[in-house]
């Protein structure tokens, strides 16, 4: 079975990630697995300029961390953006209207397990009501920051997710994102 870790910041961690049960990774440096790019955008115009840069190829996953409602709206609507990042510093812009827009465009939302437990709990609540495609990532830059799939599922169930939903967040949604990337490149 294919198990994907949706964010490691350092490809030298891949042997450890593989031992924990992952078959593939989305890595920021792109040396192993699928390359991903994270863009931090203050506004929609800045995001538009960043997406036109040549380092963003077709086979690269684009994750956007919006810091304003305008940037969030543009990231949701833009087809080149694969996922939006929900974090402690941009939680305030995820209003009900934006959550409905996320659901309408069927956009993926990524949440770091390094985030506060309050944010993780809210993300789980959002997943039940608005965001069907939510992904929880390790954001590992060092060995001790890697979460195994079982640990992720257990932690999410402690925070209030059903086991079935936690399984979906950790195992199925990253595969769905990978399939979406493959279908757009073919």
pLDDT at 186 over 70: no
**Cβ contacts of 79 within 8 Å, gap of 6 or more:** none
Phi (first) and psi of residue 169, to 5 degrees: -65, -40
What's the whole-number mean pLDDT along residues 52-57?
A: 72
d(CA 66, CA 84): 7
Q: What is the pLDDT at residue 132?
A: 86
Please classify residue 141 by burial: count the beta carbons closer than 10 Å to its beta carbon, then call 0-12 exposed, 13-18 middle and 19+ buried.
Answer: middle
* Window from 2-16, 45-59, 85-99 with minimum mean pLDDT: 45-59
- What is the fold of 4-185? TIM Barrel (3.20.20)
The model's confidence at residue 55, banded by pLDDT at 50, 70 and 90, is low
More confident residue, 132 or 184: 132
């Amino acid at each position: 079975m294919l198990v994907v870790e949706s964010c490691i910041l350092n490809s030298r961690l891949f042997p450890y990630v593989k031992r924990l049960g992952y078959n593939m990774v989305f890595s920021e440096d792109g040396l192993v697995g699928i390359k991903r790019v994270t863009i931090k955008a203050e506004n929609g115009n800045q995001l538009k300029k960043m997406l036109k840069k040549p380092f963003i190829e077709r086979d690269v996953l684009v994750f956007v961390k919006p810091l304003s409602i305008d940037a969030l709206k543009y990231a949701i609507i833009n087809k080149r953006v694969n996922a939006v990042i929900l974090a402690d510093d941009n939680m305030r812009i995820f209003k009900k209207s934006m959550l409905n827009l996320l659901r309408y465009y069927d956009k993926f939302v990524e949440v770091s397990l390094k985030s506060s437990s309050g944010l993780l709990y809210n993300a789980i609540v959002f997943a039940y009501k608005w965001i069907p495609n939510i992904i929880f990532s390790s954001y590992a830059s060092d060995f001790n920051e890697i979460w195994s799939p079982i640990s992720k599922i257990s932690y999410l169930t402690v925070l209030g997710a059903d086991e079935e939903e936690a399984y979906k967040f950790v195992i199925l949604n990253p595969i769905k994102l990978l399939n979406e990337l493959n279908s757009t490149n073919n």
